[in-house]
Chains A and B, each alone.
Chain A
Amino acid sequence: MSTGKASHPQVTAGSPVSRPSRRDALAALGLAVPALSGLLGAPTFAQAATDRIVVAGGVVTEVIYALGQQDRVVGVDSTSLFPAEALRQKANIGYVRALSAEGVLSLKPTLLLLIDGAGPPDAISLLTESGIRIERIADGQTPEGVAVKIRAIGTAIGAAEPAARLADRTAASFRELDDLRSRLGRKRRVLFVLSLQNGRALVGGRNSSADGIIALAGAENAAAAIEGYKPMTDEAIIAAAPDMILMMSNGGNHRTTAEELFALPAFSQTPAAAAKRLVHMDGLYLLGFGPRTPMAARDLMASIYPETTIPPLTTGAVP
């Protein structure tokens, strides 16, 4: 698709339905619209000269803030939860998979950063047609993937050098984490519980982001027999014998207490219940796979192996 043709729309592609009413519509337009569309104020296309970045993808926002480039961002998607001021200061363009083409265009962006899977495709193709520069960012969920992601974002926004430094620091933190991991003894089994509706547990199986962070923290995923995020039956939870239960703490929501959790029959029979081991961590910190991931994995490791001294990482990735 050519991006330079925005000024020549498909005039000939009009559908048959529109034909009879065009002229009438035009006649009515002159009368009706001036009265009704004063609501939105005058157009302000003149200021489009400055750099205006719109971001779809929480981890991309996080990296841009970590690089100190947030002043150039005008809009972020609803998954941009870290840092918390992002959604307070910038326009919210909605969920990353359900963007609105006109909504994004209304922010007069000069650059659009899309994480893997941003959509829907129709909206993206309209945005492409508008001639805005669009950069896609691969959402790798491994230490290498995180470094690639940070560099790609930096290159896209013209901050390649600070991004390379951030990526190197993150890589160093991951190496430090490898070292910590190699000193652990027997691997403990951790069960990530995404939600607990009516006592029914939705857990993170293999190939889920939870599986990735549990591995980085030097533990074994107790739900590795399941693929992705799925409900797990009570008996399978008992059979999985987790040493610890991991849950997300998302601001405002009710937080399941250890008493509530281990009163459930399925969980009461696990080694985790015997040791009363339930840990809550922030969702994006835990599962975001950005520059904070080595620290998240280190924190998780410290809560899985409380008897071992796990020192804080010395190569902190965030300035």
Chain B
Amino acid sequence: MTFAVPSQAMPTPSLSGLVASRRRLGLIALGGLGAACLLLAVIAVGQGAVAIAPGRVAAILAGWLTGNGAALEGRDVLVVLNIRLPRVLLGLLVGAGLAVSGALMQGLFRNPLADPGLVGVSAGAGLAAAATIVLGDRFLAGTLMKLPFAVLPFGAFCGGLVSTLVLYVIATREGRTSVATMLLAGVALGALSGALTGLLSFVSDDRQLRDLTFWSLGSLGGASWTKLSAVAPIILPLLLLMPFLARGLNGLMLGEAEAYHLGIPVQRIKAMAILLVALAVGASVAAAGLIGFVGIVVPHLVRLWVGPDHRLLLPLSALGGAMLLVAADIVARLIVAPAELPIGIVTAALGAPFFLWLLLRRTSLLDV
């Protein structure tokens, strides 16, 4: 390194100047990523297995926005408005929710390997979904099976919440939640639901087994306005409360005791973050299946770029996660059209090499 000893003549940058320049970087990053995200969403609505000219897509969207029914005729209208648009919006929402959840968990657990699965949501939701797929035919036959696609997401969502609640109760003593206990209990609970899921796959037939496999790789394929309007109110609170959580998590980086003495409501932040993440991830899993990788890698990418300040980290992770998922979905929809690839394969295949390349490019070792 070539650190020159600062000469008397060179003024050291003032603290306020540093803060101002970081804020500028933050605003530029937010603006840039926001614009990129919007552009990607527009491209995503324009692309798909059905070839629709860009002008036609624009006309359909314009007709929809202005409520002008004259432009809304034909099958391509259905494709754009009822298949692509909800799908892209669901992708944005789920991607943002997963990435922010990951960032929150890494901050809360002060562990770079933490991902949304740590609070037990994925494990519980996965188990509940497997149970619905495998046992659904047997026990719901003739009753609720008229709506199997409503039973599965609902079951997955409830399963996720219940397992988070169990973990929270295990890790909380006298009004204080131990993140270390929660981490360890989460691993144990994950192993247990893994075992039960394995048991379910043992009793399943070959069709159910394939359903399980596809479900565990995730897909935005089932997006609809109904699904979107069910999921949005559950994921949005997490995104809206980001500024509040960011301040608390920045304090928590110093350590729990230190944060407490700074006047940060540590327990409230913990409980709130865990609840919001459980809701958001539960809803994501219910709507799109298990989509790995977004929650763990997007926050790290953002951290490598702008540093660990949660006030930037959380919103940039939201945008980054939304972009990764929508981009992956474009690939998933087009690469084997008219069939489609499970999105979990694409997120990992796109994201992992990029992440490794970033790690390689760094000259110093990473300390999170």
Contacts and interface: CB of A to CB of B under 8 A. Distances in A.
Interface string B67-92: 10100111111110111111001001
A43 B46 contact: no
A230 interface: yes
A183 interface: no
A88 interface: no
Interface stretch (B49-57, B172-180, B249-257): B49-57
Interface in B274-321: none
A94 B336 contact: yes
A117 B89 CA distance: 28
A129 B86 CA distance: 15
Given A9-B72, A105-B49, A122-B149, A33 B54 contact: yes
A17 to B, nearest CB: 5
B241 interface: no
B206 interface: yes
B79 A105 contact: yes
B340 A94 contact: yes
Nearest to B148: A121
Contact of A106 (B51, B69, B219): B51
Given A17-B232, A78-B339, A95-B210, A6 B78 contact: yes
Interface-central residue, B48, B50, B206, B333, by most chain A CB under 10 Å: B50
B58 A97 contact: no
Contacts of B69: 8
B358 interface: no
A130 B339 CA distance: 18
Contacts of B219: 98
Contacts of B54: 29, 33-34, 36-38
B347 interface: no
Interface in A87-123: 91-95, 97-108, 117, 120-123
B119 interface: no
B345 interface: no
Interface string A25-56: 11011101110111111111100000000000
A129 B74 contact: no
Q: How large is the interface on B (under 10, 10 to 19, 20 to 34, 35 or more residues)?
A: 35 or more
A25 B221 CA distance: 22
B76 A43 contact: yes
Contacts of B77: 6-7, 9
Contacts of B236: 16-17
B61 A26 contact: yes
Interface stretch (B13-21, B23-31, B222-230): B222-230
Given A95-B210, A106-B50, A100 B340 contact: yes
Contacts of B39: 28, 32
A121 B232 CA distance: 21
A101 B92 CA distance: 20
B260 interface: no
B67 A97 contact: no
Given A34-B55, A102-B48, A130-B75, A122 B338 contact: no
A271 interface: no
A186 interface: no
Q: A9, A45, A95: which has the most chain B beta carbons within 10 Å?
A: A9
Contacts of B211: 97
Contact of A100 (B43, B62, B338): B338
Interface residues on A, range: 35 or more
B335 to A, nearest CB: 11
Most buried by B among A30, A93, A103, A125: A103
A97 B89 contact: no
A40 to B, nearest CB: 4
A198 interface: no
Nearest to A35: B54
Contacts of A91: 338
Given A29-B57, A33-B43, A121-B148, A126 B232 contact: no
A76 to B, nearest CB: 11
B116 to A, nearest CB: 19
B42 interface: yes
B321 to A, nearest CB: 14
Interface string B232-275: 11001000000000000000000000000000000000000000
Nearest to A34: B54
B340 A26 contact: no
B225 A13 contact: yes
Q: Which of B54, B58, B78, B93 has the most CB of A within 10 A?
A: B78
A100 B49 contact: yes
Given A17-B92, A33-B58, A100-B339, 8 more contacts: A18-B89, A29-B45, A37-B57, A40-B51, A98-B210, A100-B333, A122-B149, A228-B206
13 contacts: A11-B67, A17-B89, A17-B92, A17-B232, A25-B38, A25-B61, A29-B46, A102-B84, A107-B338, A117-B207, A122-B223, A130-B75, A229-B205
Interface of B: 38-39, 41-43, 45-58, 61-62, 64-65, 67, 69, 72-79, 81-86, 89, 92-93, 148-149, 202, 205-207, 210-211, 214, 219, 221-229, 232-233, 236, 333, 336-340, 342
